[in-house]
Amino acid sequence: MIRILGRANSFNVRKVLWACAELGLEFTREDWGRGFRPTSDPEFLKLNPIGLVPAVIDGDLVLRESNAIVRYLFNKYRPDSPAYPKEPAARAAAEQWMDWANYETSISLRGAFLGGVLNEPPWNHPWFVERGRQQIAKEVGQLEEHLSRNGRYVAGDAFTVGDIPVGLVVNRWFHLNFERPATPAVAQYYERLSERPGYRAHVRNGFP
């Protein structure tokens, strides 16, 4: 059985939990990270020397980096799934949104969420919070424009792995505590994702 090391309210752990739900995979999860056992513990660092959650253990294999874990799970356990297309262009269309969610929004959400919502230092500096809010509004505006022109999901009319990290960004967007610009296409997308049991269980479940 797959072991997932990481707290259930972690942004990146929730990607893996949702992927497991989509694939119908059984797993056990152990609390590590903020508020639980520290990831600086030698036991954790032996498995993931980067010291971040999640770490995933599948047999003798130990994995880190949430997007890589999501791709691995689909490749291993459902290689025929249309959610992870085989055709290179279709696969790239999904994967580019995985990268967008990780790289484009990660810094802005540190200011807008870690600083602006959780008031965590050093992200809670007023300048950084404001810059984060401006930038995440710009980035979600990019998603708004894309969804309004390109279909029901980020890679078109069908759900793909690209929607998993983006779905975490969208959930957090609707929990930010500042006056957000209207994003009707993103709001519709949020409701569409919420029709999926795994999303309701692990993402839109009350945690920002």
Look at the block and give the residue holding tokens 């965590």. 120
Please list the residue range(s) of the chain that carry CATH number 1.20.1050.10. Answer: 88-201
The pLDDT of residue 201 is 98
Q: Which amino acid is at 91?
A: R
**Could you list the mean pLDDT of each consecutive 10-residue stretch along the chain, which spans 208 residues?**
97 98 98 96 97 98 98 97 97 98 95 97 97 98 97 96 98 97 98 98 96
pTM of the model: 0.96
Domain 88-201 has CATH 1.20.1050.10: yes
For residue 14, the model assigns a pLDDT of 98
* Residue 186: predicted pLDDT: 98
pLDDT at position 21: 98
What's the pLDDT score for residue 182? 97
Question: What pLDDT does 122 receive?
Answer: 96
User: In this predicted structure, what is the pLDDT of residue 112?
Assistant: 98
Would you state the pLDDT for residue 83? 98
* pLDDT the model gives residue 8: 97
Residue intervals in the chain for CATH 3.40.30.10: 2-77
Q: Which superfamily is assigned to 2-77 in CATH?
A: Glutaredoxin (3.40.30.10)
